[in-house]
Amino acid sequence: MDKTKKHHFDTLSIHAAEQEDQNQSLNPPIYMTSTFTFTDLQQAEDTFSFKRRAYVYTRGGNPTINLFEQRLATLENGVDGVAFSSGMAAISSVVMSFAAAGDSLVAHRNLYGSTFGFLNHLITNYGVKTKFINMTDLNAVEKAITSETKLIYLETPTNPALEIIDIEALAKIAHSNGVKVVVDNTFATPVFQRPLDFGADVVLHSATKYISGHGDVIGGFATSKDFDYVQKLKFGYMCELGGVMSPFNAWLLLRGMKTLGLRMERHEKNAREIANFLRNRPEVVKVSYPGFEDHPGHDIASRQMEGFGGIISFELKGPRENAESFVRNLNLIKLAVSLGDAETLVEVPAMMTHRDYPEEELHEFGFSSKTVRISAGLEHYSDLLNDIENSLDKVYRQ
């Protein structure tokens, strides 16, 4: 592939970092091997002393995994990437690469439940404290930074409240104080948002979600414009902590990326249809979707995103039992954690993915015990709307 020419995103998602195969296979081979051999000790010595570039052991490098890393890094405008066994392996490794005992972090109030659990509980065992704030308020960001602050961590759009954070403005504040910025870009994907271009230092993904798109892979990923940092993350943290991705999962993710652009268009179209439908239903109190002009973060999203994503969150009238009944009465839409699959998925975050948040304090974190989250899939939107309408009728008109 001609690297001197900038290709369109959809072309890069299929062809970026292509590798030559001696058998001229259209699809990349799956190098399902734990180790690689040497012809003699001199070749081994040259490899271990970095005189020769070659593969040694799949935990540190594998052709299939490296192709995935380079391709997704290209889509995010990073210099190179690191694949992980899961999104949480990526998140924990990146956070640990910046913070040590005595340091503090600043995180947005609205995060994936396991991320919140890691920052609020697990990492505190190692002497690192996290302050959770509302990063849509930039004044709060400035006030939260101290001399101990090493990292600002956020998602945008957030999970599950779909709040929007101004990456560029936040990065300027952080960098003026010598603080790094890490953005989880799982919800938007590089189709709709590339945080590195707005000043983020590291971008993360749970590749399990939209990057895969088929609900059959667990994987994580991180990239940066700083090549030395990527090498440090790969060999100092991913390799040492052992969160390596399997070559087969990397191959499945490469397959998923081929249709990423097309799929995100359909996810967004279906999300818009669902959001508009819910907004006009009398049973619905509130619908959060960044595509609405009256969404508090719409202007920022319009500036830093090229689309508004495939996730909707909303609240129904009445007690939480109504939300429970609603998800129970859906037929086509599946009750499940995760998102970004071909199937449309629904959940009640406070009861499922965000159980780590204290229920009595949910409002302080931007959502409630009644919040319902829908990940719009690839089905025809009319069938999804019929399923939602039938469920609402059963809940409110029995």
200, 150 Cβ separation under 8 angstroms: no
pLDDT digits (tens, 9 = 90+) for 251-301: 999 999 999 999 999 999 999 999 999 999 999 999 999 999 999 999 999
pLDDT reported for residue 5: 57
Class of the domain covering 260-396:
alpha beta
pLDDT reported for residue 340: 98
Known catalytic residues are 59, 112, 184, 209
Place of tokens 């230092």: 201
pLDDT reported for residue 277: 98
Q: Residue ranges of the domains in the chain?
A: 9-257, 260-396
CA-nearest of 169, 180, 252, 182 to 223 is 182
250, 64 Cβ separation under 8 angstroms: yes
pLDDT reported for residue 4: 40
| Sheet order of strands, 220-224 included | 80-84, 220-224, 202-206, 180-184, 149-155, 104-108, 129-133
Tokens found for residue 77: 């405008």
DSSP string, 73-124: HHHTT-SEEEEESSHHHHHHHHHHHH--TT-EEEEES---HHHHHHHHTGGG
Residue numbers of the chain with a pLDDT score lower than 50: 4
Topology agreement, domain 9-257 and domain 260-396: no
Q: 9-257 in CATH: which number?
A: 3.40.640.10
pTM: 0.95
Strands (E), the chain: 80-84, 104-108, 129-133, 149-155, 180-184, 202-206, 220-224, 284-288, 311-316, 334-335, 345-347, 372-375
List all residues 6 or more positions away from 95 whose beta carbon is below 8 Å from its beta carbon. Answer: 105, 118, 119, 123, 151, 153, 182
**b/e 247-286 (16+ beta carbons within 10 angstroms → b):** bebbbbbbbbbbbbbebbebbbebbbbbbebbeeeebbee
pLDDT digits (tens, 9 = 90+) for 305-358: 999 999 999 999 999 999 999 999 999 999 999 999 999 999 999 888 888 788
pLDDT reported for residue 361: 80
